[in-house]
Amino acid sequence: MQKLKTYMYIEKIIFLSLLLLTTAVTVWAEETTSEGDLNARLSTDQVENRIALDKKANPLYESRLLNPLRKWRDGMAEKTGFNWSIDYSALFMGVSDSPSKDNGSGGMVRFFGFWDLVNRGGPNKGSLNWKVEHRHKYSDIPPSALGFESGYAGIFEPPFSNQGSRLTNLYWKQYLAEGKWAAVGGFLDVTDFVDVYLLASPWTGFNNFVFSTGAAAMDLPNDATLGAAAGGMITQNLYLQAGIADANADPTDPFDGFDSVVDDSDFFKWVEVGFTPGQDKIYFDNLHVTLWHVDERVNGTPDGWGLNASWQTWIGDKWLPFVRGGYTDDSGSLLEKSVSVGVGYQPVPQRGVIGLGFNWGEPNPVSFPGADDQYTTELFWRYQLTSELAVTPSLQYIRDPALNPDEDSLWAFGLRVRLAL
């Protein structure tokens, strides 16, 4: 018992020290990649990356409807360093056979951005980053609940819930060493940093969570988690990152995280080591392994640990094959063992992507006692019709849905629409 108390005390000191020093460092020896202004090793949904990618869209039709607003916004950013955007996403999903509900739909509006307040225009700039959202359902259940309703031991599109107003990000980011390092600290979405790969975004990539962060075999904390991490290049080809975050985060009441950290001291921790052919290729070509541990939480979810691995490579500016997997011991993850393989294909640069993935998953016995293995295949096509509008039809085939033994298979159909400034 004394050992446990000592461990919790040390853990708390490390967490608060990291947060105080704002050393959630998740950038590397070069911040830009061949995509231009993208932050290496941060997800496509990290606010700076999302704004940069939306500006690079190469649509089928070049609409001019919102050009005056964009010009005003970009002028404001140039004069004041205040960069912002807004988007609205809607998702409609249905399944072929279900013991309960067979469809779900919902949407969300997001306001996000970053404000360069220190050394604007210089390599060592400092900025305040934020993302606030409202998530709502249209039908009896939101899309995120449809997987369980249909007997599938998994989640379709986790962000499309019915949480209402919530905070996702609110943190300070400071570049250092002539822009070669950076530090962030505050309320984080850890999926912006850990186990990153290009097709993980539920807004622009795969629908199914098995093809996202952790391959459904990582017990991630919720968004707006009070957290800190550190990382960097240790050789020309090897990088290392490590982090710690509050495991009891609640994005609908984020500031309760301060009490949670001090009073409960339940944390999600990770260490990730990766290899890349070159620092300028780290966003597209990397192999990494992530070791993580999570404490028992206040809601009774047990502690546990896991190991995840991921490989992706960019071929000819068109193809992105990937292999990803994970293993969990205890904890509250969806799957105990998971392997995902697939490929992304970009026919026209920045106009969309076609993705095909296959997953084998063994449900976590802590979460789903006695459930059998299940197999998931997904095909999606995201297409940028105009500068503002992208549509993504998707089709999933699930073999042996683990929570519905009466059915041998299940089809899931989806249509996602995103409007972005």
pLDDT tens, 329-375? 989 999 999 999 999 999 999 999 999 999 999 999 999 999 999 99
Range of the domain at 393: 2-88+190-420
Task: Count the helices and strands in the chain (H runs, E runs).
Answer: 5, 16
| pLDDT of res. 41 | 54
| pLDDT of res. 43 | 78
| pLDDT of res. 193 | 87
In a domain, 276, yes or no: yes
pTM value? 0.89
Question: Which one, of 394, 341, 383, lies nearest residue 60 by Cα?
Answer: 383
In a domain, 52, yes or no: yes
In a domain, 349, yes or no: yes
Question: Which one, of 261, 367, 254, lies nearest residue 20 by Cα?
Answer: 261
In a domain, 367, yes or no: yes
**Beta 82-95 vs 389-399: how paired, if at all?**
unpaired
* Residue 337 belongs to domain with CATH number: 2.40.160
The helix (H) or strand (E) run that includes residue 203 is none
| pLDDT of res. 32 | 36
Distances (CA, A) of 243 to 19, 118, 194, 252, 332: 11, 25, 9, 23, 19
What is the number of structural domains in the chain? 1
In a domain, 259, yes or no: yes
Where the chain has pLDDT below 70, the residues are 1-42, 179-180
| pLDDT of res. 22 | 38
* Residue listed under structure tokens 């998971």: 338
Question: Which one, of 378, 363, 405, lies nearest residue 150 by Cα?
Answer: 405
In a domain, 135, yes or no: no
**Dist CA 365 CA 367 (whole Å):** 5
In a domain, 168, yes or no: no
259 — phi, psi (to 5°)? -65, -40
The burial of 308, by beta-carbon neighbours within 10 Å (0-12 exposed, 13-18 middle, 19 or more buried), is given as buried
3-state secondary structure of 106: strand
In a domain, 325, yes or no: yes
